[in-house]
Amino acid sequence: MRKITIVGAGQAGLQLGIGLLGHGYDVTLVSNRTGDQIREGRVMSSQAMFGTALAHERALGLDFWGDACPPIAGLGVNIADGQGGRALAFDARLDATARSVDQRVKMPIWMGEFARRGGRLVIHEAGVEDLERYAAESDLVVVAAGKGDIAGLFERDAERSPYDAPQRALALAYVTGMTPLPHRTGVSFNVVPGLGEYFTMPSLTTSGPCDIMFFEGVPGGPLDRFDGLTPDEQLATFQELLRTYVPWEAERCADLALTDQNGTLAGRFAPTVRKPVATLPSGARVLGLADVVVLNDPITGQGSNNASKCAAAYLAAVLDHGDRPYDAAFMELAFGRFWDNARSATAWTNAMLGAPPQHVLELFGAASADSRIAARFVNGFDDPRDFFHWFMDPVAAKNYLAEVSA
């Protein structure tokens, strides 16, 4: 039986580990926290997951929430006009319902399921020396911990990483008391041109259904106000910014309360793609997974989706590889299967961080008048590869608008 060690018990590490167990592999998963510590800790992300990623979970029997989690049935886009109103707006239904489950809910249950299915769960803060030991004892070591010293072993890929500094100041809050959207449950995506973005989405947290508020502020701008705030101060700042920049969202937020004092998060990071293979001091090689190798800004909500897709790609690569050694060539091939999808998500996400070009403004304007265009944009969040057929290129956009008009 081939032995695989996975360092990191997040979306990707657990999904890959449970998938491997189902095919008879000997899997050890190393986590720096117990399930109880995760459940009682701070929120980690907004984690809206679209249809393709959720299908990977269902295929492994990992959907334990069903109707308990509020559905994300659609997505609405609003562009602020700088005068307290909207320059344009459109809304469309997703072809497949999306969902957001607080990782404090999901990961402890998945950790228990991993152990129940025969996996070995080790609670330990792994360092480079530990990786050396795991590499000596295992046929393959996969690093799924996106932060800390071991993530730094993976070299930044400068050709695929256009930014070397954070492009947004990030802050989110889990709340109750938000008035639902009028048309359908879903994501509200609000753009304040030149200043940043504001999102909302329904979610399931430790205390039940809730909503997530999420600000992305251009560094140094008026939406960059979240460093060093207490949870209550952060929520008050959110409400102040809503009244100033997106007042139609402020109307939904008159009676908010935090779900808990661990229900806020703030920070910033540079979007980065790293090379998938790291070489340890001994010469042993380890394979990076998900955020370790592709860390995108959350403006397009691709983080947890990329994690799920990466785990699925690596599982397929392992199964196809059979009994051959997990050498550097295998690791590059496994990453390549993921990158075939992730390159589109990464390029689109990086483009959304900049000022929209004229052809994108024209597409958004057309989407506000034509539900077919709105639906295509909204469903691109599930499969960003489609954007390269009509959204990312001005010539393709012109041809698409002509086709729709005809």
Q: Which residue's structure tokens are 């010539």? A: 395
Please report, for residues 2, 70, 272, 306, 319, the alpha-carbon distance to residue 204 in angstroms, rounded to integers and kept in the order given.
Answer: 37, 7, 29, 20, 33
The domains of the chain are located at 3-62+102-162+271-352, 69-100+168-267, 358-405
Distance CA(377)–CA(300), nearest Å, equals 12
CA nearest to 273, candidates 167, 378, 161: 161
Domain 69-100+168-267 in the same topology as domain 3-62+102-162+271-352: no
Rounded distance, CA 336 to CA 343, Å? 10
Distances (CA, A) of 127 to 8, 17, 145, 253, 383: 12, 20, 11, 44, 35
Instruction: Classify burial at 154, counting beta carbons within 10 Å of its beta carbon; exposed 0-12, middle 13-18, buried 19 or more.
Output: buried
Please tell me the predicted confidence (pLDDT) of residue 149: 76
Q: How far is Cα 241 from Cα 217, in angstroms, rounded to an integer?
A: 11
Tell me 181's DSSP state.
P
How far apart CA 225 and CA 217 sit, in angstroms, is: 8
5 in Cβ contact with 31 (< 8 Å): no
Per-residue pLDDT, 118: 98
Q: Using CA atoms in the order 120, 126, 131, 133, what is the torsion angle rounded to 10 degrees?
A: -70
Amino acid sitting at position 207: S
Residues 6 or more apart whose CB falls under 8 angstroms from that of 198 comprise 190, 192, 213, 214, 215, 216, 241, 242, 245, 246, 249
User: Taking Cα atoms as reference points, which of 210, 204, 212 lies closest to residue 103?
Assistant: 204
**Is the Cβ–Cβ distance between 101 and 203 less than 8 Å?**
yes
Handedness of CA 327, 329, 334, 335 (dihedral sign): positive
Q: What is the pLDDT along the chain (406 residues), one digit of tens a residue?
A: 899 999 999 999 999 999 999 999 999 999 999 999 999 999 999 999 999 999 999 999 999 998 899 999 999 999 999 999 999 999 999 999 999 999 999 999 999 999 999 999 999 999 999 999 999 999 999 999 866 778 789 999 999 999 999 999 999 999 999 999 988 889 999 999 999 999 999 999 999 999 999 999 999 999 999 999 999 999 999 999 999 999 999 999 999 999 999 999 999 999 999 999 999 999 999 999 999 999 999 999 999 999 999 999 999 999 999 999 999 999 999 999 999 999 999 999 999 999 999 999 999 999 999 999 999 999 999 999 999 999 999 999 999 999 999 8
What CA–CA distance (Å, rounded) separates 309 from 307?
Answer: 6
Q: Where is 279: in which H helix or E strand?
A: strand 277-279
DSSP 8-state secondary structure symbol assigned to residue 163: -
What is 3-62+102-162+271-352's CATH topology?
FAD/NAD(P)-binding domain (3.50.50)
Q: What is the pLDDT of residue 146?
A: 62
CA proximity to 213, closest of 142, 205, 151, 157: 205
| Residue 375: predicted pLDDT | 98
Q: What CATH number belongs to 69-100+168-267?
A: 3.30.9.40
SS3 214: strand
d(CA 384, CA 343): 9
Report d(CA 47, CA 97) in Å as an integer: 14
**pLDDT attached to residue 406:** 86
